[in-house]
Structure 1
Amino acid sequence: MEALINLILQFGNLNKQQIEFLLSKVERLELKKDDYLSEAGKVPRYVAFVLEGVFRFCYYNNRGQEITNYFVDEGNFVVDNQKFESQMVASEYVQAVTDCKVLVFNKKNWDQLSNTIVGWEMMKANMVKKCLTLAMERRSPLVSEDATTRYLSFIEAFPSLLNRIPLSYVASYLGITQQSLSRIRRTIR
């Protein structure tokens, strides 16, 4: 709970009563490896704060290939924010890559924070802005760089993930085959 509050307090001030109110709206949830926090074709149910574990955002392209779009690990929020806020059907999956422990807010409780805590909307907007900026910074090198540079950028962006997630997910994220990833890994050791 402390990690959640510390993160939120980076985006604004909350008094003791507001913190207690916020904590009264959160639930603890455990997901097993491969469970979904959110599924394509369904409305996302939660904003989650990752206490332990790794999630990935993924989807299936028009050829039926599974594409990993992003990873989220400890100390971060994980949510398909646009779909959650508008209560629309998601087009991506948010899947536990490892066993995960999260703190979750359902839509009703998340909205109650906005309706009760003065300044929460601005704090929330700043949290979303930070998450989007970080995601863009991590994804941009993947557009124009060669595969080896993309892999090195991945290691830099996600230093703690390499030994925790399947290489097939890393390859998918980098837009290369698993065989190419194995070759790259052999050449840079």
Structure 2
Amino acid sequence: MLAGIIKSIRKFTDLSEQEISEFIEMARIESYKPKSHFIRAGQIPTKFGIVISGLFRYVYISQEGKEFTKVFMPEGSFISSYSAMIAQTASHFFIEAIEESEVLVISYPNWQKLKSQNPQWNLLLLKLLEKGYSVKEKREREFLLLDAESRYRIFLEEYPELEKRVKQHMIASYLGITPIALSRIRKNMGA
């Protein structure tokens, strides 16, 4: 477990094993069953985490019950409704477990403490925010400029293993189409 967390953090910054161990000591491991929530829409978030095992998705649910999957978060991902957490406002989306999952979770006060003690944690945050912004910008561009089949092909290229782990209706909601439209696209592609 420790090796995977160190690898996830070191993708973004050069914190030492000792510094990462301090993070781990302030954190706790939480387990999630499929369909349970790390954060619920309407809840003021007080934590963020690193996915140790399993898979999550960020999902908006309309008043009519329609789902819109924002992103999938596999092992090694940092998960949070960060903007709601720092503003102390309700999250607009759910972070839902898709599989049996374990997350290393740190409270927002402990995170603030780490950042105040060591600027490398602020660098990690900056890198995470930059990555999140880049992903968001790319998704917006794809939705504005590409058709559904092109978006599906990009999904398969970027997440080759996820199609086996995620239900088709979730992929459809990620692509912004109906499950029937996704079935049609898959049939046309010979999938």
| TM-score (structure 2 length as normaliser) | 0.90
Deviates more, 1:94-103 or 1:118-127: 118-127
Q: 1:61-80 alignment to 2 at 5 Å?
A: 61=62, 63-80=64-81
Q: Take 1:35 and 1:117, find their aligned partners in 2: how far apart are those partners? A: 34
Please report the RMSD computed on the Cα atoms of aligned residues, expressed in angstroms.
Answer: 1.7
What is the match of residue 184 of structure 1? Answer: 185
Q: Take 1:165 and 1:12, find their aligned partners in 2: how far apart are those partners? A: 30
| Structure 2 contact 52–102 (Cα < 8 Å) conserved | yes
* Displacement of 1:103: 0.8
| Structure 2 contact 6–17 (Cα < 8 Å) conserved | no
Q: Take 1:139 and 1:76, find their aligned partners in 2: how far apart are those partners? A: 21
Structure 1: tracts of 5 or more residues without a match: none
What is the match of residue 102 of structure 1? Answer: 103
Report percent identity of matched pairs. Answer: 29
Matched, 1:144 2:145: yes
| Structure 2 contact 15–120 (Cα < 8 Å) conserved | no
What is the match of residue 47 of structure 2? Answer: 46
* Displacement of 1:169: 0.7
| Structure 1 contact 138–157 (Cα < 8 Å) conserved | no
What is the match of residue 56 of structure 1? Answer: 57
Matched, 1:154 2:142: no
What is the match of residue 171 of structure 1? Answer: 172
* Displacement of 1:138: 4.4
* Displacement of 1:53: 1.3
* Displacement of 1:2: 1.7
Q: Take 1:132 and 1:159, find their aligned partners in 2: how far apart are those partners? A: 22
**Equivalent position SS for 1:69:** strand
* Displacement of 1:17: 3.6
| Structure 1 contact 55–96 (Cα < 8 Å) conserved | yes
Deviation readout 1:40-93 (Å, 9 max, x if unpaired): 111113211111111111112354422111111111111111112222211111
| Structure 1 contact 141–153 (Cα < 8 Å) conserved | no
| Structure 1 contact 45–84 (Cα < 8 Å) conserved | yes
Q: Tell me: CA distance 1:163–1:15, structure 2 relative to 1, closer, same or farther (3 Å).
A: closer
What is the match of residue 120 of structure 2? Answer: 119
Q: Take 1:15 and 1:65, find their aligned partners in 2: how far apart are those partners? A: 44
Q: Tell me: CA distance 1:4–1:85, structure 2 relative to 1, closer, same or farther (3 Å).
A: farther
* Displacement of 1:176: 1.0
What is the match of residue 131 of structure 1? Answer: 132
Deviates more, 1:175-184 or 1:5-14: 5-14
Q: Take 2:122 and 2:88, find their aligned partners in 1: how far apart are those partners? A: 17
Structure 2: tracts of 5 or more residues without a match: none
Q: Tell me: CA distance 1:105–1:172, structure 2 relative to 1, closer, same or farther (3 Å).
A: same
**Equivalent position SS for 2:119:** coil
| Structure 1 contact 147–174 (Cα < 8 Å) conserved | yes
Deviates more, 1:29-38 or 1:41-50: 41-50
Supply the AA of the counterpart residue of 1:176: I
| TM-score (structure 1 length as normaliser) | 0.91
**Equivalent position SS for 2:131:** helix
| Structure 1 contact 50–76 (Cα < 8 Å) conserved | yes
